[in-house]
């Protein structure tokens, strides 16, 4: 016979505990955390307050949870999360609250005050995040072989896109926003080359593509799949692929609209020196970190990790490794280094691992595949599409390997203790 608790105060405690735990879980999910981190956070908080049993199920837009306390009181709640973004400062705040309450187990009133304090904190000011978008686009234009003029053009487009994204496009459907932003980026790239500010159309477009490409979401999808969250991983993977297709569609429309316009292409891709590419990778990583509102104290770690990861990728290429092997080894290094940074700085791993590998995400491959598709060049289409897939597969495989190894180590350590 099912036990039905009669103590109203006990039921109230279970209800409020689960509600507060879901507040933290929702905050993690809203601000770029992985699904398995959301589930783990809710479970840890409830167990810290004496829960006898806790069940949590989360996907990209929904959290279901139920808790049963030692006295038999029970609560079951659902939380809808319609929108999410990448805000690493808030993600770290919710992670910090989770650590504090699991360690100290304050009263539920004090727990509630901690959550309210996080919610009241203001987001990063626009004058800090918007230049991050410009820095990202400009540096990646150089990284893929552009000139200083291409860097300047990419910077201006990146600043405009970041400003629109943070102010005017917040309430627009995410998929429609992707098409509009990519279309606008393509048209502006043409315009800046026409007026003589930009020099190489391809490099400017590739730099701006990097602002939109869902590298972080794809990385989270791979980690969710490896942690057993199959449904959430599949949903994120499909969403990432759909976003990439819509980015390509937006740029294709801009090319179709502007292709009759006379544009002086200028120089082709420049083979920059090793040091120049590393500097561009470092600054591009810092730009992404600013866009994602990463705390300034973590920027040095992000810069070092981004530079070293791209250095490993370049070195493997110099030694004759294929693009798959180069991406794989770079991803392995990035995942291991991110684990060290997360433990040394007491921050979530997701803050670092995606930023470290962002410079290897094949934005150039996506652009050239799209361009070859439009021109009907089957040979170029095949080679660029294959290269894009190999780099993506290498990044995913490297991250998978380290995630599995770290997960196995944690499980073994937990069993021993």
Residue 215 confidence (pLDDT)? 61
- Per DSSP, 291 falls in state H
Does pTM surpass 0.85?
no
| Backbone angles phi and psi of 320, in degrees to 5 | 95, 10
174 and 99 housed in the same domain: no
pLDDT in tens, 280-320: 999 999 999 999 889 889 999 999 999 999 999 999 999 99
Higher confidence at residue 379 or residue 294?
294
User: In this predicted structure, what is the pLDDT of residue 377?
Assistant: 74
Task: Quote the domain boundaries for residue 303.
Answer: 126-413
SS3 82: coil
pLDDT at position 60: 86
- The set of residues, in sequence order, having a beta carbon less than 8 Å from that of 41 and lying 6+ positions away, is 21, 24, 25, 28, 94, 95, 98
- One domain, residues 40 and 104: yes
- Is the Cβ–Cβ distance between 331 and 284 less than 8 Å? no
* 108 and 151 housed in the same domain: no
Is residue 113 domain-shared with residue 143, that is, in the same domain? no
pLDDT in tens, 20-29: 999 999 999 9
Per-residue pLDDT band for 260 (boundaries 50, 70, 90) equals low
Q: How many domains does the chain have?
A: 2
Residues 125-164 have pLDDT tens digits of 888 889 999 999 999 999 888 889 999 999 999 999 988 8
What angle (nearest 5°) sits at the alpha carbon of residue 255, between those of residues 253 and 258? 110
- Report the percent of the chain where pLDDT is more than 90: 44
Residue 400: inside a domain: yes
Q: What is the pLDDT of residues 329-357, one digit of tens each?
A: 999 999 999 999 998 988 888 889 888 99
> Are 132 and 113 members of one domain?
no
Instruction: Indicate the DSSP class of residue 5.
Output: -
Nearest Cα to Cα of residue 325 among 406, 393, 374, 400: 393
CB under 8 Å to 7, separation ≥6 — which residues?
71, 73
As a whole number, mean pLDDT of residues 35-41 equals 89
pLDDT tens digit sequence for 194-224: 998 988 888 899 899 888 876 667 666 766 7
Query: What pLDDT, on the 0 to 100 scale, is given for residue 392?
Result: 80
pLDDT at residue 298, rounded to an integer: 93
User: Higher confidence at residue 272 or residue 197?
Assistant: 197
Q: How far apart are CA 256 and CA 182, in angstroms?
A: 13
Note the pLDDT of residue 177.
84
Residue 1 included in any domain: no
Phi-psi region of 346 (alpha: psi -120 to 50; beta: other; left: phi over 0): left
């Amino acid at each position: 016979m099912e036990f039905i608790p009669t103590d109203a105060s006990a039921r109230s405690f279970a209800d409020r505990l689960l509600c507060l735990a879901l507040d933290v879980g929702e905050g993690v999910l809203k601000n770029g955390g992985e699904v398995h981190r959301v589930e783990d956070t809710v479970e840890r908080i409830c167990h810290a307050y004496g829960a006898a049993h806790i069940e949590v199920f989360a996907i990209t837009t929904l959290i279901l949870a139920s808790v049963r306390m030692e006295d038999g009181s029970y609560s079951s709640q659902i939380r809808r999360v319609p929108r999410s973004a990448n805000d690493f400062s808030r993600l770290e705040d919710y992670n910090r609250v989770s650590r504090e309450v699991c360690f100290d187990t304050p009263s539920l009133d004090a727990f509630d005050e901690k959550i309210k304090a996080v919610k009241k904190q203001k987001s990063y000011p626009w004058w800090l995040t918007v230049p991050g978008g410009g820095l990202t686009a400009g540096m990646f234009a150089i990284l893929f072989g552009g000139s200083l003029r291409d860097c300047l053009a990419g910077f201006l487009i990146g600043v405009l896109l970041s400003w629109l994204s943070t102010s005017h496009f917040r309430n627009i459907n995410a998929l429609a926003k992707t098409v509009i932003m990519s279309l606008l980026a393509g048209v502006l790239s043409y315009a800046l080359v026409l007026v003589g500010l930009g020099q190489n159309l391809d490099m400017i477009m590739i730099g701006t593509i990097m602002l939109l490409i869902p590298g972080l979401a794809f990385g989270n999808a791979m980690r969710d799949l490896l942690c057993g969250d199959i449904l959430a991983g599949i949903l994120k993977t499909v969403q990432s692929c759909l976003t990439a297709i819509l980015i390509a569609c937006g740029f294709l429309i801009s090319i179709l609209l502007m292709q009759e316009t006379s544009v002086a292409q200028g120089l082709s891709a420049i083979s920059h020196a090793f040091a120049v590419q590393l500097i561009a990778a470092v600054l591009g990583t810092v730009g992404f970190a600013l866009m994602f509102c990463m705390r300034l104290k973590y920027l040095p770690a992000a810069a070092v990790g981004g530079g070293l990861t791209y250095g490993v990728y370049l070195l493997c290429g110099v030694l004759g490794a294929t693009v798959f092997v180069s991406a794989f080894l770079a991803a392995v290094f990035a995942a291991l280094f991110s684990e060290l940074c997360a433990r040394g700085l007491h921050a979530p791993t997701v803050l670092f691992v995606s930023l470290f590998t962002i410079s290897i995400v094949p934005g150039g491959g996506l652009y050239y595949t799209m361009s070859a598709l439009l021109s009907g060049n089957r040979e170029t289409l095949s080679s660029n599409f294959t290269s894009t897939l190999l780099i993506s597969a290498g990044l995913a495989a490297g991250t998978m390997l380290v995630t599995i190894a770290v997960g196995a180590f944690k499980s073994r350590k937990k069993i021993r203790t």
